[in-house]
Amino acid sequence: MKLVDIYKTAVRKGMAKDPRPQSEIKKELAKIEKEYRALKGADKKAFDKERLTNPYADTRMLYGDPDTEVKTMAVGVDMEGPELLVIDRLNDRGINKVDLVMAHHPEGGAWARFYDVMGLQVSMLARHGIPREIGNELLKERMGEVERAIAPANHFRSVDIARLLDIPYMCVHTPADNHVADYLQRIFDRKKPVKLSQVVAILKNIPEYADAMKKNSGPKILIGDPDKKAGKIFVDMTGGTEGPKKVFPRLSQAGVGTIVGMHLSEEHFKLAKGEHINVVIAGHIASDTLGLNLLLDEIEKTEKLKIVDCSGFVRIKR
């Protein structure tokens, strides 16, 4: 399979699991194309043309010939300088001839602009009863916070290492996160757990979370008690990063009883607790692993690949 085919399949499968209607995604892509056509000079020359067909700013081919034939791919949650050096060492020693490195967390230009994907959180919130107008206003403020926070970073550090070592390199973030969010939301909607203990029990029976338990990073109740009623469950695991801080009163008013997430900042924790919303933390790396595994299952329907799992990721096929 070619690098470009892996990339395009990841984007396509991510769109299939996107919380937004397909018509909304197409409308957004058409808007970006219109903006591109209006650009001139340096702005048009610098424009990232992947934005015309890929709605996920945090998913890109970062380095390498798109036509590179891939038989063995190294996949990890964070594939940065240290991991790239390990892959180079493995290739030198002939232990594994890795043709492509796939990172989950965005790097390079995908990291510099990853806040763009947060817009899809509006559709997630709308599904749970928060009007789009309100969701848009809440996300606008939060996206600005994230943009300002990451602006000073050395975004291309790991990409430069991949270039110097001549290792094809890509990252897939939101398409994988869409898979885990869709997968878990469907399970909870179908099984309708009554208590928080039952929510956690469902997670613990999923292989990726069972593995995390052995590593002392399994699912746990962050806010609430095991016997407390779960109520309406909101799986919050896609959209770039944590949502707006002001969303918790709105979620409470919309009847959300429990949030199941990857992680929660201290500030978000205090605000959720103040609104008496239960929070179950499934686990960051385990959730990323589940999303990657579901996506890789889809990619491998076309052609089987040898996967070298590392950096927190464990390959589990379904």
Say if CB 287 and CB 262 are below 8 A apart. Answer: yes
Q: What is the DSSP letter of 51?
A: G
How does pLDDT run across 133-164, given as a tens digit for each residue? 898 888 888 899 999 999 999 999 999 999 99
Rounded Cα gap, residues 218 and 213, in angstroms: 4
- Of 2, 109, 98, which Cα lies nearest the Cα of 59? 109
Do 157 and 210 lie in a common domain? no
User: Could you tell me if 38 and 134 lie in one domain?
Assistant: yes
Which residues of the chain have a pLDDT value below 50? none
In a shared domain, residues 266 and 207? yes
219 and 133 within one domain = no
Residue 114: inside a domain: yes
Question: CA-to-CA distance for 151 and 56, rounded, in angstroms?
Answer: 18
Q: Which domain holds residue 164?
A: 3-173+288-310
pLDDT of residue 112: 95
Task: Name the 3-class secondary structure at 280.
Answer: strand
pTM: 0.95
Q: Quick check: is 230 in a domain?
A: yes
Q: What pLDDT, on a 0 to 100 scale, did the predictor assign at position 246?
A: 84
**Do 246 and 144 share a structural domain?**
no
Residue 13: closest CA among 248, 176, 186 = 176
Q: Say if 164 falls within a structural domain.
A: yes
- Crossing angle between the packed helical segments 174-191 and 196-204, to the nearest 10 degrees: 130
State the pLDDT at residue 169.
Answer: 98
Residues 147 and 266 in one domain: no
To which H or E segment does residue 31 belong? helix 22-38
**Residue 316 covered by a domain:** no
What does the pLDDT read at residue 79? 98
Using CA atoms, how far residue 101 sits from 56, 162, 269, in Å, is 19, 9, 35
Q: Are residues 100 and 199 in the same domain?
A: no
Residue 160 neighbours by CB under 8 Å, 6+ apart? none
Write the single-letter amino acid at 82.
P
Measure the CA–CA gap between 91 and 166, rounded to whole angstroms: 11
**What is the rounded distance in angstroms from the CA atom of residue 285 to the CA atom of residue 292?**
10
Which of 22, 15, 54, 51 minimizes the C-alpha distance to 35?
51
Tens-place pLDDT, residues 173-193: 999 999 999 999 999 999 999
Residue 82 lies in a domain: yes
pLDDT of residue 102: 98
Residue with tokens 């808007």: 31
Same domain, 164 and 86: yes
Indicate the pairing of strand 256-261 with strand 278-281: parallel
What is the CATH number for 203? 3.40.1390.30
- 196 occurs within a structural domain: yes
**202 and 139 in a common domain:** no
Asked if residue 252 and residue 146 are part of one domain, the reply reads no
In this structure, are 12 and 102 located in the same domain? yes
| Residue whose pair of structure tokens reads 């060492």 in the numeric block | 89
Domain count, the chain: 2
The closest of 266, 315, 313, 317 to 83, measured between CA atoms, is 313
Q: For the chain, how far is it from start to end, CA to CA, in angstroms?
A: 20
Whether residue 53 lies inside any domain: the answer is yes
Asked whether residue 192 falls in the same domain as residue 251, the answer is yes
Residue 84 burial class via C-beta count within 10 angstroms: exposed 0-12, middle 13-18, buried 19 and up: buried
Domain assignment of residue 137, yes or no: yes
Q: Tell me what pLDDT residue 203 has.
A: 98
